[in-house]
């Protein structure tokens, strides 16, 4: 009873104190209104206050709309794009991850259980994508793969912290834990602060128009801070799901089965299996030179090398694949692999097998030859092979339109010729038409068909082909990396035997 009486006394005292504090403002406001009324300025003041309040309200609505549009556009973008060396199967899995990321709510960041559930759902989605035949595909990985994944994720997280989080390299864990220990005190202080601010909002009602403008201003800034908070939470949620999805793709795709040393050994094994001429070039992108007999394959190799290294195509003397080292102007080394002619000593199945180990295919097609059915059949077989195996990456394909000097008029040869757009000379017109026809037959853009003259003392347009090779180096390296990562490890039996021997030695007390 006594405590209730004291509470009422406190409330009465606070109310009386608030009245005393507000009285001067109320009296001043009333007197000001009377003065404005006596001087016929009250309506002007009301109109000005209404215009100011309306302006603030309009700015609030405009800012709210712009913030929502901006955050919606930004939150639909991936935090990091897909890796360039991914195969189509990885890109399909990434599309599933992006779908989950776009549907994620920013509120999962503030709820540990929902955050964990979102990560688990992402893992299950990617696992089911790679192992649809398994009832529970989540555990389809090995312990070494999981350990290597933890190393990569830790390194990636460290980089993100150093680049994105201020003072992450300055704050020590002890300082963070001490600040976290002050959390109850901070929460209590914020509670008192909110109570005091509510009292201030009540106090400023002494001037209603001022209070209205202040409320609109507060609403404006609250909208800004609320939208920024929503954007940041959604951004963090997307980072979480996308990083979990990226790690899951690395885990379930088998890309973690090989470390850097294993990849180097695979490259050596691949080189040794392809013939003695390729043995010295295990780490260089491989370019497969393909075409019909007499198309100019070996002549193209000679033109690129700048010297006589392969037998020319006057007679089809190349019976087996032969590799030649090509060094570009920037020092990048490439491996040119000359092949027999299509339909002669190289059937379609052999070409498909060779394309599996290539990082770029240079297809030589004579510009003056109308029958390209063998080329079309072989190219369709290559495309069909990779389309049926989305876990593999098809190497880029470029067409070299050879023998352009034999196009009509045959006696005219006065390079250079402008083809984009074609100039008025008949030779240029016919070269452009041949390029267009070859592009249509191969199903490629015209920009990926390079007209060239390969024979003669001064081959023509080889510099354009070399420039195209330089631009394709990143794509070749990505294709090579994907191919090596898909390569089955041939040292598994040796590794199992070594593990068994070491384990048995430790069990018997004789470490080996």
End-to-end CA gap in the chain? 85
Distance CA 120, CA 138 (A): 9
C-alpha 254, offset from chain centre: 19
User: Rounded to whole angstroms, how far apart are CA atoms 491 and 485?
Assistant: 14
The two three-digit tokens of residue 359, written as one number:
């990082």
Structure-block tokens of residue 376: 């079309």
Q: Which residue has the tokens 């990885």?
A: 90
How big is the CA angle at 264 (ends 258 and 270), to the nearest 5 degrees?
A: 100
Instruction: Look up residue 342 and give its DSSP letter.
Output: B
Tell me the CA distances in angstroms from 219 to 131, 223, 254, one per residue in order. 51, 6, 52
Mention every residue, 6+ apart, whose C-beta is less than 8 A from residue 371. Answer: none
Contact 482, 392 (CB under 8 A): yes
What's the CA gap between 125 and 123, in Å, rounded? 5
Phi, psi of 337 (to 5 degrees): -115, 110
Which pLDDT belongs to residue 360? 93
Q: How far apart are CA 300 and CA 366, in angstroms?
A: 12
Q: What is the CB-side half-sphere exposure of residue 428 using CA atoms within 13 A?
A: 12
Instruction: Name the residue among 393, 136, 128, 76 with its Cα closest to residue 245.
Output: 128
Please tell me the distance from the alpha carbon of residue 431 to that of residue 411, in angstroms, as a whole number: 14
Could you tell me which of 248, 237, 229, 226 has the C-alpha nearest to residue 79? 237
Distance CA 180, CA 471 (A): 52
Q: What is the pTM of this model?
A: 0.59
CB atoms within 10 A of CB 157: 11
Sorted by sequence, the CB contacts under 8 Å of residue 505 that are 6+ apart come out as 511, 512
- 384: tokens are 């069909």
Query: Which of 269, 286, 220 lies closest to 475 in space, CA to CA?
Result: 286
**Residue 279 confidence (pLDDT):** 39
Q: Tell me the torsion sign for CA atoms 102, 105, 106, 108.
A: negative
Cβ atoms of 93 and 249 within 8 Å: the answer is yes
Write the DSSP string, 182-220. Answer: THHHHHHHHHHHHHHHHHHHHHGGGSHHHHHHHHHHHHH
Q: pLDDT tens digits for the chain (512 residues)?
A: 555 655 565 556 656 666 666 677 667 767 777 787 777 877 787 777 777 667 766 776 676 666 565 555 555 566 677 777 678 888 888 989 998 888 888 888 778 888 889 888 998 999 888 888 888 888 887 777 777 777 777 777 777 777 766 666 777 777 777 777 777 776 766 676 666 666 666 665 555 556 656 666 666 566 556 666 777 778 888 888 888 888 888 888 877 765 545 545 555 555 554 433 433 334 688 999 999 988 888 889 888 887 545 544 433 434 456 678 888 888 888 889 888 888 766 788 888 988 988 999 999 999 988 888 889 999 999 999 998 888 888 999 999 999 998 999 888 888 888 888 888 899 999 999 999 999 999 999 999 999 999 886 678 999 999 999 999 988 888 888 777 766 554 445 555 556 566 655 555 555 54
Assigned token pair, 165: 């989080």
Q: At what angle do helices 373-387 and 426-442 cross, to 10 degrees?
A: 40
| CA–CA distance, 257 with 142 (Å, rounded to integer) | 9
Write down all domains in the chain, each with its CATH number in brackets: 2-64 (no CATH), 88-255 (no CATH), 281-486 (3.40.50.300)
The edge-to-edge listing of strands for the beta sheet with 322-327 is 322-327, 333-338, 286-291, 360-366, 397-402, 449-451
């Amino acid at each position: 009873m006594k405590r209730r009486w004291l509470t009422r006394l406190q409330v009465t005292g606070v109310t009386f104190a608030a009245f005393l504090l507000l009285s001067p403002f109320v009296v001043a406001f009333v007197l000001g209104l009377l003065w404005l009324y006596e001087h016929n300025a009250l309506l002007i003041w009301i109109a000005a206050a209404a215009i100011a309040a309306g302006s603030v309200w309009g700015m609030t609505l405009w800012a709210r709309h712009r913030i929502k549009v901006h955050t919606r556009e930004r939150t639909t973008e991936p935090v990091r794009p897909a890796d360039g060396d991914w195969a189509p199967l990885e890109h399909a899995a990434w599309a599933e991850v992006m779908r989950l990321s776009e549907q994620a709510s920013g509120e999962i960041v503030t709820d540990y259980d929902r955050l964990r559930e979102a990560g688990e759902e992402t893992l299950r989605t990617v696992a089911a994508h790679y192992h649809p035949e398994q009832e529970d595909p989540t555990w389809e990985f090995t312990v070494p793969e999981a350990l290597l994944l933890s190393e990569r994720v830790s390194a990636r997280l460290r980089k993100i912290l150093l680049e994105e989080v201020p003072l992450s390299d300055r704050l020590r864990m002890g300082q963070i834990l001490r600040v976290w220990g002050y959390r109850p005190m901070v929460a209590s202080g914020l509670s008192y602060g909110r109570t005091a601010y509510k009292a201030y909002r009540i106090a400023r009602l002494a001037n209603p128009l001022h209070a209205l403008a202040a409320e609109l201003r507060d609403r404006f800034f609250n909208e800004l801070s609320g939208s920024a908070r929503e954007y940041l939470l959604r951004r963090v949620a997307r980072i979480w799901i996308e990083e979990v999805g990226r790690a899951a793709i690395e885990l379930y795709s088998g890309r973690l089965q090989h470390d850097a040393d294993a990849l180097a050994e695979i490259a050596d094994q691949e080189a040794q299996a392809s013939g003695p001429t390729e043995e010295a070039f295990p780490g260089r992108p491989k370019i497969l030179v393909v075409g019909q007999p007499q198309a100019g394959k070996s002549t193209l190799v000679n033109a690129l090398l700048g010297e006589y290294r392969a037998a020319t195509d006057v007679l089809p003397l190349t019976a087996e694949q032969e590799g030649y080292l090509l060094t570009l102007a920037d020092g990048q080394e490439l491996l040119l692999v000359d092949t027999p002619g299509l339909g002669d000593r190289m059937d379609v199945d052999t070409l498909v097998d060779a394309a599996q180990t290539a990082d770029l295919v240079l297809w030589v097609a004579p510009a003056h030859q109308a029958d390209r059915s063998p080329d079309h059949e072989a190219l369709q077989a290559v495309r069909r092979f990779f389309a049926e195996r989305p876990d593999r990456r098809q190497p880029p394909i470029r067409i070299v339109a050879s023998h352009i000097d034999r196009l009509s008029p045959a006696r005219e040869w006065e390079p250079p010729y402008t083809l984009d757009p074609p100039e008025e000379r008949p030779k240029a017109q016919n070269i452009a038409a041949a390029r267009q026809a070859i592009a249509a037959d191969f199903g490629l853009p015209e920009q990926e068909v390079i007209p060239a003259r390969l024979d003669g003392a001064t081959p023509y347009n080889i510099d354009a082909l070399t420039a195209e090779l330089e631009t394709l180096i990143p794509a070749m390296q990505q294709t090579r990396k994907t191919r090596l990562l898909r390569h089955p490890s041939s040292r598994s039996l040796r590794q199992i035997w070594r593990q068994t021997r070491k384990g048995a030695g430790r069990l018997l007390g004789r470490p080996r």
